[in-house]
Chains A and B, each alone.
Chain A
C-alpha cells in the first residue's frame, strides 16, 4: 500500500523555468492538499482540493497552479520558478471533506531554484 506518492523527490531549476510536481494517492480519499515547508514557518497551504473537480487557494498560492486530474491525482505547477519558491513541498490527502480528518503525507519534494 503506497499511500501518497510524490514525484520527483529532488529537483533543481533555474529562475524562470517551469515544472510540475506530481502527487497520487491510492486510499480513495476525497480531499488533497499541497503544502510548502520552510524553516521556522511550519507548513503553509498552497492549494487544496476538497473533492474531485474543485480546487481552492490556500495561504500562499501566488506563483502556483494546480490540477485535480481525477480522484487519485493532484499536481502542482510552477510556471516561472523564482528563488523564493525554493522549499520542500508536501502533498497530503484526507478522507474528510471538512478538514477535520487525519492528513496522510507524501515524503516530500525538495525544490531548489537558482
Chain B
C-alpha cells in the first residue's frame, strides 16, 4: 500500500520567510502526489498535483513542489510566507481508487 510521511507536525516561520514543508512517499509504482490545504473550520482544497508531466509543479497562492524520485520526496515550498498562509497542509499519494493522506503539518506565520 502507498503511504506518505510528513516531517514536522508544526512549522513556524516569520512573515516574508521561506516556507518548506516536507513530505516523503512510499510507492511501488510511479505515484500521483498531491498537496492540500485546510483553513480553520473548512474542508480541504487542492494546492497542487504531480502527475509525472514535470518534476516541478506550481500550485495556487505561490506554492510549488518538486518531485525527487531519488529521495522519494515531494516537498512544498513558498519563497515568502504571508499571514494568510497559516493553515494545515496535507501531502497525499494516490492508491488504488483512493488517496492516502499524511498526518498533516500546521503552518504558523509570525508577524
Binding site for B on A (CB under 8 A): 4, 31, 33, 35, 40-45, 48, 50, 56, 58, 90, 92, 97-100, 102-103, 105-108
Contact = CB atoms under 8 A, between A and B. Distances in A.
Interface string B20-48: 00000000000010101000011111100
Contact of B43 (A50, A102, A108): A108
A42 B51 contact: no
Given A40-B9, A42-B102, A99 B97 contact: yes
> Which A-B residue pairs are the 8 nearest by beta carbons?
A105-B43, A42-B103, A43-B101, A42-B101, A100-B32, A99-B97, A99-B98, A50-B97
Interface of B: 6, 9, 32, 34, 36, 41-46, 49, 51, 90, 94-104
A105 B45 contact: yes
Contacts of A98: 94, 96-97
A44 B101 CA distance: 7
A107 B97 contact: no
Contacts of A50: 97
B73 to A, nearest CB: 18
Contacts of A31: 97
A41 B98 contact: no
A77 B109 CA distance: 39
B103 A48 contact: no
B103 A99 contact: no
Contacts of B49: 102
A98 B100 CA distance: 13
A103 B97 contact: no
B104 to A, nearest CB: 5
